[in-house]
Amino acid sequence: QFLRVTKQYLPHVARLCLISTFLEDGIRMWFQWSEQRDYIDGTWSCGYFLASVFVFINLFGQLSGCILVLSRNFVQYACFGLFGIIALQTIAYSILWDLKFLMR
């Protein structure tokens, strides 16, 4: 009985759970724009403009990917885009060499 009632909502909840990390990270970037920009600028010494472009690409890529997955439009392309964001963050934030972060 319970499954019959909730069956139509479960795919939406499952998609939300799968993209929740990207959604949270995108919203956090929106509210911590200057901190993210300053970190990228300080790490890579690329200037405020390029650091802002990186943060914007990261923010836009994550939020648009989440919206596309939740709306079930272009899901395959959205997943590829989110995977690209992961690769970009791995390089930009030097996550690949941070063993403590990777183990967590």
Count Cβ atoms below 10 Å from residue 103 Cβ, excluding itself: 6
Domain that holds residue 88: 1-103
Q: What is the pLDDT of residues 33-90, one digit of tens each?
A: 999 999 999 989 999 999 999 999 999 999 999 999 999 999 999 999 999 999 998 8
Residue 23 has pLDDT above 90, yes or no: yes
- Tokens of residue 6, six digits: 């909730």
* Mean predicted confidence (pLDDT) in 15-41: 93
Q: How far is CA 77 from CA 48, 52, 73, 87, in A?
A: 30, 24, 9, 15
To which residue do tokens 């990261």 refer?
58
- pLDDT of the residue at 98: 74
**Whole-prediction pTM value?**
0.81
pLDDT at 97 over 80: no
Q: Of 31, 28, 19, which Cα lies nearest the Cα of 68?
A: 19
Instruction: Give me the number of domains the chain comprises.
Output: 1
